[in-house]
Amino acid sequence: MLKVTETEQVEFPAAMISEFETIVQRYPEGKQKSALLPLLHLVQAEYGWLSTASMDRVAGYLDIHPIEVYEVASFYTMFFLKPQGKFVLEVCRTGPCCLVGAEKIMKHIEVTLGVKEGEVSEDGMFSWRGVECLAACGMAPVLQIGPDYTFYENLTEESVNQLIKDLKNKI
């Protein structure tokens, strides 16, 4: 994953631009704005979040106003508007998951990682947050981990410990 700061100008890699072109071609002439969501997903996959500079680049590429990109990026919660850890643990905090311990799991993650919701661990490896229903209520409590959104179900404090240990071993 490439690193980028809020103010840093970004030059998108040639491979990403090539993917942009492929995506934009799916839409009718003059409707290139329709490619905005998939393009933002590509940018976030590359950098881990959407900086203002990178959103401005996308706006330039699609020939639309930057505000049009900001509006979309700030509407959808799957887009991060500030830097995240390499692994983002997203814990479902909706009713059915809460009934079987989601809040306890979130507290456990906070204590284990030593980082508050929405912040990044000192080593830059982890961040976490509560999210709304992940559509796996039957296996509650549940979390998903970005950037590839792998699901982990029927969570316990022990399984979360193992999960964090496994992620640290991947580093």
User: Can residue 36 be called a binding residue for ligand FES (CB under 6 A)?
Assistant: no
Give the orientation angle of helix 102-113 with respect to helix 157-170, to 10 degrees: 40
Which residue among 10, 43, 50, 136 contacts ligand FES (CB under 6 A)? Answer: 136
Interface pick for ligand FES out of 37, 53, 137, 145 (rule CB under 6 A) = 137
Q: Which of residues 65-124 bind ligand FES (CB under 6 A)?
A: 92, 94, 96-97
Residue positions counted in the chain: 171
End-to-end CA distance of the chain: 13
Q: How far is the CB of 135 from ligand FES (least distance, A)?
A: 6
> What whole-number distance in Å separates Cα of residue 19 and Cα of residue 152?
30
Among 88, 113, 115, 134, binds ligand FES (CB under 6 A): 134
- Two tokens at 29? 């002439």
To the nearest 10°, the Cα dihedral for 131, 135, 141, 146?
-50
User: Of the two residues 107 and 168, which places its CB atom closer to ligand FES in the complex?
Assistant: 107
Give whichever of 13 and 95 is closer to ligand FES, judged by the CB atom: 95
Rounded Cα distance, 18 and 30, in Å: 19
Judged by CB under 6 A, does residue 145 bind ligand FES?
no
Of 39, 140, 143, 163, which lies in the binding site for ligand FES, with binding defined by CB under 6 A? 140
Phi–psi pair at 88, nearest 5 degrees: -115, 110
List residues binding ligand FES (CB under 6 A).
Answer: 92, 94, 96-97, 133-137, 140, 142
